[in-house]
Structure 1
């Protein structure tokens, strides 16, 4: 056991006590520091949370910022819009003039009477939370209303500006829209596209240049409608007369009750057997009693006769179509004796038709006569009068109901003698082209007027050529658009069907692109965009302005003619509704323009025209033909070769028409290619309507013009692959 002195023990105890005190003090100090650190940390976290909350309420959605930046620039950066900027910024947090928000989203834009000019932005569809847009009483426009408007608007007010053209198709997709004010502009066309606007109650169209009828508005749930001071015609639909606030003065509406709608196309009534006299009480032991009050299940003689008559009628119909098929096969150069499979009914009745009386049919086509023995027991018309319908007493024409009065045609009627003199008796020297419906000749008249005369081939009209031609003239003469070839007159006499159009000295777009010689003029990039836009406007008019819509069915570069200012004019419009799809010539040229669904089924639609338009845009971009057998097999079809490369910048540069010599803005080229890709999609439902294509091209032009105004010169375009700072 170790013994320790009392002095040493005291020293040891003291040391232990001091150590304990020092340790306690250190612990208190550490706790104090920890507490201070905790307070500081809490303060930092609190400040961070506050800043974050403030930031959430101040920072605007990036898409909304982008859309408002472009809108500000499109309106030429007006200084009166305080706090607005052309790049970035915070519309909600910085209280941009006229902009209201909910959270981080812009919900209303009210800029009425601010002295604004320019136009609306091209990407306003990004404003998906916007419910009200009011830019009324300004000087915006000078062009069409942009297509990409905010999609969820409830109130849209563009009144008192300078917008022109037509109402964009995108407005018809605004299912929440309740108020639409387009008054006091220069808009001229209204489309049949409002069937989805089930909430629209207020619609103002006054003081514009609208034409046509207002029948397309009849089914809207309107309570306020103002169409005053336009150029509307027709009658005010009865449904609209019940609107609470209706203003229609300053138009050319008819007076009195509106006429009844036109009758539906004629259909033969179902066969009814002749009325039978009531049968008396039967005494035949073969009759079987029933619960029908004395009626019998045994067929009477009249019923049997009715069945026989029905069989005869069916047989006659089958015979008619068999004979008609053989007749048209012969006219197209087919072999009349060629064996073709018949339906079971036709096969069974074929022998019975051999004993029918044989007559001789003579069909005049130009100067040739085609003669063929056809087994029929009906007498055909012996003479065609081009100014009236066929004899009503002739059973072969009773189902034909299309009749157009010559008095309704407002264009000039030429005589055959007039056109023979003007064309040198349709000499080969004056032949300037040949299309699906006939040859085109240059005609020079004594008054120095020069026209193009299209001599229609009778084979284009399968039935009743005279009446179909008159209806064709009436329909085409109603078409009116600056980018359509204007029908000047017609001739319908002595078995001739002729149309006269304005003559365009620059020729067709196809000639410009594909007939290259020493005298050829190269189309600049801006001219190509201009031609694409004008052609798109022509199709937009046919598709979305005409009622009913007009499918062109034959859209191609050889049907686009250029005037001295290189404005495009689309020809052959209005033929499609009268001529069956199978009647179109399927040439090597046409194959390149045919949409996949047309190739598969032969059925055309509005979206088939959109596809063909995309092919023409490819021609403008590449300078190549739609189908070219002289090229390697993988490059013969322009669409198949070009489509995979449209989104590859390097490949796109290699595709451009060498005639441009690299003189084009690369961004403009890229956007042009984007529009092509949309149009030539294989599935028709994914192709855009032509109004959307028009807006894509309008924005392309607007961007180019805007950048030029910023001081760009021609040296900023791409040349030989060299990249420049300025590219629209």
Structure 2
């Protein structure tokens, strides 16, 4: 039926005078989607024949929400979609790639930016595409060449670059790519398009020149032999005397000797160059076959025990955490005889997969296998024939800055060497057919965000002892990234949704190392920060600078979530309580106020002193100035001491912490259950 997309309009109230409510609707058949104006007095529009696109400009990131969030996807069965002449921003939604029946798509006259992703591989029915008058950048994706049914293409007034050869094989009748930054030669196939507009670009004039023909070297000029007769009567008229003839013979002999010597020297130079090339080729083979000494990687691994970071583990019962020897990540370089550093190919410890095998494991990346979606792409559950279950991240090529395969593989090599019990390991990858796929170990319970905010039943499973243990596990993961890895690895997207919990509620941090794919650019500000708003440190919001201390701030926000059970940003609450950090920070050192902040799902089962020390750590992490935030090693030590005190109290009292103790409810009940 006429399903609705987005939030339905409120019903007209008494006193309303002709106001307009904006609503996103589709036809009863599910074939068409328009942004429509609904007069307040009109009631329901379903069934009305008159439909016109909304022209008053719907601002914001609604299109981004529709296309990139699991709960706001564009309907895959649409055949007609017109979202033109609004103020939509962000990039083209990824869910367009699933609209296999779409025939007409109009996103023109908006503020869409960034690169066009590979969205058109399955859109064989699309006959008209209009993305004109936006701010799209980058080269045209290769998948646009698979639009077998396209007849009209409008891309004018954008900032697109590169070649347009990918459009040469399309059966177009109308093409408008004016006012972009395209370059190169104009394909000859464009001359057969009836309606084509190409002005306002940087094309080279004329048709593409043919390759230059092979030019043979000029023939050698023959030398004349000297006259050996010696008689003047036999000499031709005007010839020189015998004395001058002898001098000429001497010059010719000297030149002949010079030519011979020069040829020998040239042959020696060629031979020397050949020897050097052979030696260089052999050394390259040796370098590529050597994995322990001669490769260069941002994070190559030498396993050694960090004795000065050992933390005593006595008294940490029921934590289910094992401290493994840390992997000291040290960059290795190869130096030549001159002392200059040269870079060699980095071996990858992760397993390479084929696109076909991942398609089989994910059932062709179907909707039923979808686990979630982030700023870099979607994550699917993969069931392999051998019984293994993995999580596959399908990276959107438009969301990353490293388009070259070698650069991407270098990042994959670094990520595959991150080894820590609290970090989700990267086990495989795929770069076939311009795809960028990452394969991770599957953690199948839930994320911390889901456990805290999805339902009261799930949040009640997180006892106080478990919450402290989760904080300790994630703190150890960040300590490993910041202080054990060299160079330091900044997470840059630390949030509760990236903390996966196994069946024993042990924490596993995901997306480690992915920040290398999206450096500090305008794109990241527009996507990742919006998706993680509420976790970002003040310095990043103001200047775009993100360091390890910014990760510490985000960790403090997650600790606040564990303490209060609230979201970092919650528009459903009162205005003064919508920002968790602003609301909670002034109360962290007030004992009475602190007890009122605690998550009601704990049902009062927490020790008061432990709560106070937990709040002290939070206050240090969310300091506005980054230089006042502690390093993660200090945070780990404080959380370890907090857990050790818990075990001492348990041994002294003989009772389990966090399960049998309840905050005092009656006057006179002053028994100290804290630690």
Give the TM-score, by structure 2 length: 0.50
Query: If you compute each CA radius of gyration, which structure gives the higher value, 1 or 2?
Result: 1
Q: Normalized against structure 1, the TM-score is what?
A: 0.46
